[in-house]
Chains A and B, each alone.
Chain A
Amino acid sequence: MSSASEAHASDGHHDDHGDHHHELPFWKKYIFSTDHKMIGIQYGITALLFLAFGFYLMMVMRWSIAYPHEPLPGWMSWFLSDDWKARWLQDGKVTGETYNMFGAMHGTIMVFLGIVPLGFAAFGNFVTPLQIGAIDMAFPKLNMASYWLYLLGGLVMIGSFFVESGAAKSGWTNYSPLAGFADSQIVNQFLAGQTQWLLGMVFLISSSLLGAVNFLTTIINLRARGLTWMRLPFFVWAMLVTGFLLLLAFPPLEVAALMQLMDRTAGSSFFMPSGLYTKTAGLLEASGSGSPLLYQHLFWFLGHPEVYVLLLPAIACVAEIIPTNTRKPLWGYKSMVYAVIVLGFLSFIVWAHHMYLTGMGPVVSNFFQTTTVLISIPSVILLTSMLISLWGGSIRFNQPMLWAAAFIPMFGIGGLTGLPLAFNLVDLHLHDTYYVIGHFHYVVAPGVLFGLFAGIYHWYPKITGRHMSNFLGHLHFWPSLIFMNLLFFPMLVQGMAGFHRRWYNGGDAYLSKASDSVNIFGNTVAEWLWLNPVMSWAAWLLAAAQIPFFINFWTSIWWGKKIKNDNPWDATTLEWSTPTPPPHGNFTYDVNVYRGPYEYSREDHEGDFYPQWEAPKRDEPAEEPAKKPVA
């Protein structure tokens, strides 16, 4: 009674409205597809490619930090054209300008082109409609448009590496006025990297807007019969909240991007203060009286909710994987749901904790300190619930569970290191140091990425019908865990010693300088400089550790172990009741949901799991009824 097809047969239903499977032409099936599963896969693969590219940029930066006086090694630069190298490398060495460009684009690509599309768009697209028993998204064509806009935005961003000015180089936050006059020497502003960054951003924001509207509508209106709100898997709840964050937080960034675009192309001064003088452009030839602070407010109004847009899909994946592999219900499901809603709400009123150093004044500062500390409560509820869910379970340490288990402490470190930054007094010292970098990379890299890797290993069998290799999985997991920590933990140490996050030569300039009243970091920086090569090697080896994953990912499609049935993990949620891979239209039976999402190890039921779709037997006591079954 474990597989869906059996359940289907025993139910005796027959789906008269079942879709007759038409073979679609290749371009409609794989390229211009409106099927949420194919779009999810497109998103996933594109996002993984962007992640790899963002990772490459970081490896080059790590070279410049560890070995600032040496030319870039051949293995990192052989595929670059001579022209490009002549323009952007000095005697093969990474210049400050190139470092800034790579730094800005690393951040942008990782956040906007890598993790958000992988977490929200790829997993959300593939899993959400399946979990709520829908045949597709509410607006399949918008869904396709969303993907193509995303790709267009990504290509515009990547393309900007090859224009004369190079890609954007004012940090991933693109703060004005720096971003305002960078590349201002270019006559045709549409060919300047900074402008293309903004254009790319407008495409990406439009894409995520379409995606968010689509997800929310789907979750609200297309749930299957009997799938009440409190029977939704936690994954769907997380997607719902993420959707709202994207819907409401992105427009202010679009405003900021449009205003900066006006500054660049129409000569306005939204973010350019009066009397701005720069070495490159001289005295600003514009009206002035703009406000750089306005830009920061608009940016971080998006920027902070964005953190949760990155995070929630990973938590969502882990929250599905833990109950499945501990064979017991998710502990505190309801409190997790309420926590995630509160988290979503609070995330809109903490943004200015990124701006303590702008001199907003103590009143504003206190408000944001308070809300920032408050938001740690729902985060801790989420993490603790997942931790307690492990207690007393008979844990199966398969590949997804390994990653999910590692997610908890890794994300824990990320979260706890964030607490000191919430207080502006401490932030004065740590702001813009490697401590901050270490903190948010712990959240995003070993945190979010581990959760998403867990998700990939978990749903891969549903997508392809085959398991990924266990051996290669271990070869991927253990080095990744070690090198991630070797890469990011020293950052916390260096940051406290005063390493600034934007040194392209890794603090090398401090080496020969004695500390004095001007240069108080002289000694501490020199003391911890040796960590630079250690972290860089960890980064490069981390890249090597992804090779097994790459091989695993592409070979298991054809040579992986076949799954035993449609529900290989013996899971309870609806996506495991479909044929594998799910056909166009997803379900081959009339979906009815009878119970909550995590009914594992119920004493009154034979077998250790009770799927949502399985009808109760006649002699069993009636389930808690869904309040109003929907026709």
Chain B
Amino acid sequence: MEIPYTFTARKDTGLFNSKIGIWLFLASEVMLFGGLFSGYVFLRLYADYPWPERALPVLPGLINTFVLIGSSVTVVFAWASLKMRQWGRFQFFMGITIFCAVIFMVLKGLEYNAKWHHQAVRLDDFTILEGHTHKAELDERGHLHIHHEHGAEPTEEEKKRQFPANVVVVEAEEINFTLVRAHDPYVKDILAKAKERGAVPVLADNAFFYGSPKDLPIDAAERKKLEDQLIKSHASGKEAVRFGDKKDSLYIPKDTQLTVDLLDRAEDVYLEARAINGEVRTKVLRKLWKDAREADKEDLPNFKLAEGIQIDPEEHLTGLVAEAPSALTFTFEKPVALHFKRSLIREGEGSSKLKDDTIIKGAVASSPMGLAVDAVDLRWVAQRAHEQGKDPKTVIEGLWIMENPEFKEIWERHSAQLAILTEELKKDGREPTENDKYRIDWQDLVAFHRAHEKHLEPGSPEVADLRPGMFEGITGPNHKIEENQHAFFSIDIPNEKVGFESLFTPKWNNYYAIYFTLTGLHGLHVVGGALVLAYYMFFSKGLYRRNPEWLANRVEIGGLFWHFVDLVWIFLFPILYLM
């Protein structure tokens, strides 16, 4: 059975099937990217923060634009070669097309990678600092030590101990795990960190999990007797033990060491008890309702009945339900310094919380964020000042970051440069933008540093020429260059000053969110398209011998898709990189 018009065109429509198919598919793709573009417009129009403008390095984007346009040309050459039945030429041009796709993705990868290592932080006064976090480690006393100096490469040993200086250190005294919610990797992480500091979390108090109502004595005295007996016989072993007729219940003695396995065992019994209790309580409530309805003389509708009588199963449950705690608390002998990534923990007065509801009791130690700053953005400060009817200049003078002498000098140089720029623009009747006024980016910092080295006064007209060009730092500020390391100033931001922090990922703001979504989705299209084209190039010789026209048609629809991918990029490049 052969489907008609797979490679010959139908006379009245003039098209073969897959060509109709690809056009329809592309129509749907237009709606897909159209939706995202309209999302971009919506988000940009209604942004309540200064939208990053020209924030991405242009060069990789520009190269990628030409690479994609070039590949769109070669894919047509490849198709034409097939039409002329020149297999070698087809492979050659298709090869170039696929090679272009690889270049595109590699550049994209470099760009992404730079973002994923670039830290941003919004202080509580809305100053925005960008840069790279320093490395840090905990010293013997459990204090955070930040390595500001750019020394030799750390050894393997050191690398293991070190972490980005963007953590919260808690002097943990007690940790409370919710059995159902406790996230194994978190537990393992805490155990490992405690072990490093020579401490072991142990169970705070004896815990009894009655997994079955049968194991739980109704009489309080009897229960105490049972528990005392268990404590007496098993305390020494410090091992959790099963007890009861069918070993449904679990006793964990005080001081048992925390393990993932222990939490799992406790969770099992807890869940068992919860299931039994649910079943029993349902049965009791059903019976109560039956009785109530039988006793009801007036034959009230159900909702009236429920209002009239309070049906509560609680008092009918004696001796019927199991009992198991839903959480376990572990303690340390003396407070142990544990560090957590800032985004994973919600620190509070005396007790902090992880995402899985694990509560860590203990004081929060001094946990500054160590940052080598490569850009300072005060646009949000200025915007808020405008909104509150204040003068941005005076607000900026009073910012916390002004206390930093290095920045103070930078700000002076910046203000002097701005004055020159304002004069220049005035000649054309223009004004500096908010970007010019309140944002100091990494090229500025490098220029100021070079001016400083050359002993140029602030406001010297030559400073503008000292800015690094397009080719220095293709994917953004490079912290590995020595000159840059001197140009980018270091700062320790106290924990309470940090308002919101993130790497340059979708989390930082909606500009980066839409940037990653759009380019990521586009990148997937590039990869998908390249894989299909590669299949034609490498695995379609057989089809070429049997039915070259069919293969040409396939390449044609692949090429149509490729052109669409190119077209999307041509829209993406200006709106994300240039506007």
Where the two chains meet, the residues of A that have a C-beta atom closer than 8 Å to any C-beta of B are 19, 66-71, 81-83, 85-87, 89, 91-93, 135-140, 164, 185, 187-188, 209, 212-214, 216-217, 220-222, 247-252, 254-256, 258-259, 262, 266-270, 274, 282, 285-291, 293-294, 297-298, 301, 506, 508, 511-512, 529-530, 532-533, 584-585, 628, 630-631
- Could you tell me if B13 and A220 are in contact, using CB atoms closer than 8 angstroms? yes
- Could you tell me if A255 and B36 are in contact, using CB atoms closer than 8 angstroms? yes
- Whether B356 sits at the interface, judged by CB under 8 Å, is yes
- Could you tell me if A255 and B20 are in contact, using CB atoms closer than 8 angstroms? no
- Could you tell me if B39 and A298 are in contact, using CB atoms closer than 8 angstroms? yes
How far apart are B46's CB and chain A's nearest CB, in angstroms? 6
- Whether B307 sits at the interface, judged by CB under 8 Å, is yes
How far apart are B540's CB and chain A's nearest CB, in angstroms? 17
- Counting chain B CB atoms within 10 Å of each CB, which of A137, A290, A297 scores highest? A290
- Could you tell me if B31 and A86 are in contact, using CB atoms closer than 8 angstroms? no
Given A251-B29, A287-B508, A290-B43, A630 and B516 touching (CB < 8 A)? Answer: no
- Which B residues are in CB contact (< 8 Å) with A82? 275-276, 278-279
Q: Which residue of B lies closest to A70 (CB)?
A: B289
A86 vs B281: C-alpha distance when bound (angstroms):
10
A–B pairs, 23, beta carbons within 8 Å: A71-B289, A83-B274, A85-B279, A86-B275, A86-B279, A91-B278, A164-B180, A187-B183, A209-B25, A222-B4, A248-B31, A262-B506, A262-B513, A266-B516, A270-B510, A270-B513, A285-B346, A287-B508, A287-B510, A291-B42, A291-B46, A298-B39, A511-B303
- Which B residues are in CB contact (< 8 Å) with A584? 1
A89 vs B280: C-alpha distance when bound (angstroms):
12
- Which B residues are in CB contact (< 8 Å) with A286? 507
- Whether B481 sits at the interface, judged by CB under 8 Å, is no
- Could you tell me if B278 and A269 are in contact, using CB atoms closer than 8 angstroms? no
- Could you tell me if B39 and A259 are in contact, using CB atoms closer than 8 angstroms? yes
- Could you tell me if A298 and B510 are in contact, using CB atoms closer than 8 angstroms? no
How far apart are B188's CB and chain A's nearest CB, in angstroms? 13
Considering only residues 42-61 of chain B, those with a C-beta below 8 Å from chain A are 42-43, 46-49
A256 vs B38: C-alpha distance when bound (angstroms):
11
- Whether B12 sits at the interface, judged by CB under 8 Å, is yes
- Whether B422 sits at the interface, judged by CB under 8 Å, is no
- Could you tell me if B1 and A585 are in contact, using CB atoms closer than 8 angstroms? yes
A290 vs B507: C-alpha distance when bound (angstroms):
12
- Which A residues are in CB contact (< 8 Å) with B3? 135-138, 140, 222
How far apart are A142's CB and chain B's nearest CB, in angstroms? 8
- Could you tell me if A266 and B513 are in contact, using CB atoms closer than 8 angstroms? yes
Q: Which of A140, A258, A630 makes the CB contact (< 8 A) with B12?
A: A630
Query: Number of A-B pairs whose CB atoms are under 8 Å?
Result: 222
How far apart are A19's CB and chain B's nearest CB, in angstroms? 5
Given A89-B282, A287-B500, A289-B47, A83 and B275 touching (CB < 8 A)? Answer: yes
Given A259-B517, A584-B1, A631 and B35 touching (CB < 8 A)? Answer: no
- Which A residues are in CB contact (< 8 Å) with B278? 82, 85-86, 89, 91-92
- Could you tell me if B17 and A187 are in contact, using CB atoms closer than 8 angstroms? no
- Whether B113 sits at the interface, judged by CB under 8 Å, is no
A631 vs B5: C-alpha distance when bound (angstroms):
11
A247 vs B347: C-alpha distance when bound (angstroms):
48
- Count chain B residues whose beta carbon lies closer than 8 angstroms to a beta carbon of A: 75
- Counting chain A CB atoms within 10 Å of each CB, which of B32, B46, B505 scores highest? B32
Given A71-B285, A91-B313, A164-B180, A212 and B43 touching (CB < 8 A)? Answer: no
- Whether B11 sits at the interface, judged by CB under 8 Å, is yes
- Which A residues are in CB contact (< 8 Å) with B514? 270
- Could you tell me if B286 and A71 are in contact, using CB atoms closer than 8 angstroms? yes
- Which A residues are in CB contact (< 8 Å) with B282? 71, 85, 89, 91-92
- Which B residues are in CB contact (< 8 Å) with A254? 32, 35
- Could you tell me if A91 and B21 are in contact, using CB atoms closer than 8 angstroms? no
- Which A residues are in CB contact (< 8 Å) with B25? 209, 213
Q: Which of B27, B39, B285, B505 makes the CB contact (< 8 A) with A247?
A: B27
Q: Which residue of B lies closest to A529 (CB)?
A: B303
How far apart are A373's CB and chain B's nearest CB, in angstroms? 26
A248 vs B33: C-alpha distance when bound (angstroms):
12
Interface string of B292-317 (1 = CB under 8 A from A): 00000000011110110001010000
A91 vs B321: C-alpha distance when bound (angstroms):
12
- Could you tell me if A511 and B28 are in contact, using CB atoms closer than 8 angstroms? no
Q: Which of A187, A250, A256, A533 makes the CB contact (< 8 A) with B28?
A: A250
A197 vs B343: C-alpha distance when bound (angstroms):
26
- Could you tell me if B301 and A93 are in contact, using CB atoms closer than 8 angstroms? no
How far apart are B59's CB and chain A's nearest CB, in angstroms? 26
- Which A residues are in CB contact (< 8 Å) with B356? 185, 187
- Could you tell me if A289 and B517 are in contact, using CB atoms closer than 8 angstroms? no
- Could you tell me if B35 and A251 are in contact, using CB atoms closer than 8 angstroms? yes
- Whether B15 sits at the interface, judged by CB under 8 Å, is yes
- Could you tell me if B1 and A270 are in contact, using CB atoms closer than 8 angstroms? no
4 extra interface residue pairs, beta carbon distance < 8 Å, beyond A221-B13, A262-B506: A139-B18, A217-B21, A248-B28, A291-B42
- Could you tell me if A187 and B355 are in contact, using CB atoms closer than 8 angstroms? yes
Q: Which of B1, B10, B39, B357 makes the CB contact (< 8 A) with A135?
A: B1
- Whether B106 sits at the interface, judged by CB under 8 Å, is no
- Could you tell me if B21 and A139 are in contact, using CB atoms closer than 8 angstroms? yes
A452 vs B231: C-alpha distance when bound (angstroms):
68
Pick the 8 closest A-B CB pairs, nearest first: A92-B282, A86-B278, A268-B513, A255-B35, A267-B507, A268-B506, A82-B275, A251-B31
Q: Which residue of B lies closest to A508 (CB)?
A: B303
- Whether B485 sits at the interface, judged by CB under 8 Å, is no
- Whether B395 sits at the interface, judged by CB under 8 Å, is no
- Could you tell me if A139 and B17 are in contact, using CB atoms closer than 8 angstroms? yes
- Which B residues are in CB contact (< 8 Å) with A136? 1, 3
How far apart are B55's CB and chain A's nearest CB, in angstroms? 14
A461 vs B275: C-alpha distance when bound (angstroms):
49
A336 vs B41: C-alpha distance when bound (angstroms):
39
How far apart are B460's CB and chain A's nearest CB, in angstroms? 38
- Could you tell me if A289 and B509 are in contact, using CB atoms closer than 8 angstroms? yes
- Which B residues are in CB contact (< 8 Å) with A506? 303
- Whether B383 sits at the interface, judged by CB under 8 Å, is no
- Whether B340 sits at the interface, judged by CB under 8 Å, is no
A137 vs B17: C-alpha distance when bound (angstroms):
10
A164 vs B178: C-alpha distance when bound (angstroms):
13
Given A93-B285, A533-B302, A289 and B506 touching (CB < 8 A)? Answer: no
A214 vs B24: C-alpha distance when bound (angstroms):
9
- Could you tell me if B506 and A92 are in contact, using CB atoms closer than 8 angstroms? no
A213 vs B26: C-alpha distance when bound (angstroms):
10
- Which A residues are in CB contact (< 8 Å) with B21? 138-139, 213-214, 217
- Whether B192 sits at the interface, judged by CB under 8 Å, is no
- Which A residues are in CB contact (< 8 Å) with B29? 251
A619 vs B71: C-alpha distance when bound (angstroms):
63
Q: Which of A67, A140, A289 makes the CB contact (< 8 A) with B49?
A: A289
How far apart are B209's CB and chain A's nearest CB, in angstroms? 15
Q: Which of B24, B48, B357, B517 makes the CB contact (< 8 A) with A217?
A: B24
- Could you tell me if B306 and A247 are in contact, using CB atoms closer than 8 angstroms? no
- Could you tell me if A212 and B302 are in contact, using CB atoms closer than 8 angstroms? no
- Whether B163 sits at the interface, judged by CB under 8 Å, is no
Q: Which of B5, B42, B275, B346 makes the CB contact (< 8 A) with A294?
A: B42
Given A82-B276, A164-B180, A508-B306, A266 and B507 touching (CB < 8 A)? Answer: yes
Q: Which of A220, A249, A270, A294 makes the CB contact (< 8 A) with B20?
A: A220
- Which A residues are in CB contact (< 8 Å) with B281? 91-92
Given A19-B1, A70-B285, A258 and B509 touching (CB < 8 A)? Answer: no
- Could you tell me if A66 and B302 are in contact, using CB atoms closer than 8 angstroms? yes
A93 vs B301: C-alpha distance when bound (angstroms):
18
- Counting chain B CB atoms within 10 Å of each CB, which of A67, A81, A221, A282 scores highest? A221
A512 vs B183: C-alpha distance when bound (angstroms):
44
- Could you tell me if B24 and A216 are in contact, using CB atoms closer than 8 angstroms? yes
A285 vs B502: C-alpha distance when bound (angstroms):
11
A19 vs B3: C-alpha distance when bound (angstroms):
12
- Whether B277 sits at the interface, judged by CB under 8 Å, is yes
- Which A residues are in CB contact (< 8 Å) with B99? none
- Could you tell me if A628 and B12 are in contact, using CB atoms closer than 8 angstroms? yes
- Counting chain B CB atoms within 10 Å of each CB, which of A93, A270, A287, A511 scores highest? A287
